Amino acid sequence: MKKEFHYLEKDGQYFPLIEVSLKKGKKLIRIKALVDSGTSFSVFRYEIAQELGIDLEKGKKIYLVGIGGRILGYLHKVSASLGNKRFICKIIFSPELNISFNLLGRDNFFLPFIISFFEKKRKIIFKTI
C-alpha cells in the first residue's frame, strides 16, 4: 500500500493531517489527526473516546508531560486503519488536551509504515512495510 496526503492549511500554516479510521466494537469513525514525529504517543481528545463508546476511565491512567505542562489521559487500544492497512493502535484519550489537533505519535502508529515528509511539496507519504 502507498497512500499520499497533501498537508492541510490552517491559519496560513500547513500541517501533515491525515484521515484515519478508528473502530471499537461496532462503532467506526473517520477522523483527521496530525502525524507528529516529535510525539511519543498518540493523544486524542476525550470526545473521540465518547464517540467510540469507550469508558474513558477504564483505561490505564497516564500523565503526559510536555511543553504545555502535564495532562491526564487514559490509555486504550483501538482498531485503526489507514488505507487498507489495519492494526491495533494505542491511543491516550485526554479530557485535558487543549490543542487544535489529535496527535498520531511514534509509539505504535508509525510501526506498520515507512513515512516520508516532503515539506517543500507539503505532502506526506505512507508505505506499508
Q: Report the domain count for the chain.
A: 1
pLDDT confidence of 100, banded at 50, 70, 90? confident
Q: What confidence score (pLDDT) does residue 44 get?
A: 97
Q: What confidence score (pLDDT) does residue 32 get?
A: 95
The CATH number of the domain where 65 resides is what? Answer: 2.40.70.10
pTM above 0.85, yes or no: yes
Q: What confidence score (pLDDT) does residue 74 get?
A: 98
Q: What confidence score (pLDDT) does residue 69 get?
A: 80
CA 24 to each of CA 42, 51, 117: distance values in angstroms, whole numbers, following the listed order: 16, 10, 29
Q: Which of 96, 119, 107, 99 is nearest to 15 (CA)?
A: 119
Q: State pLDDT tens for residues 102-115.
A: 999 999 899 999 99
Structural domain boundaries enclosing 65: 2-128
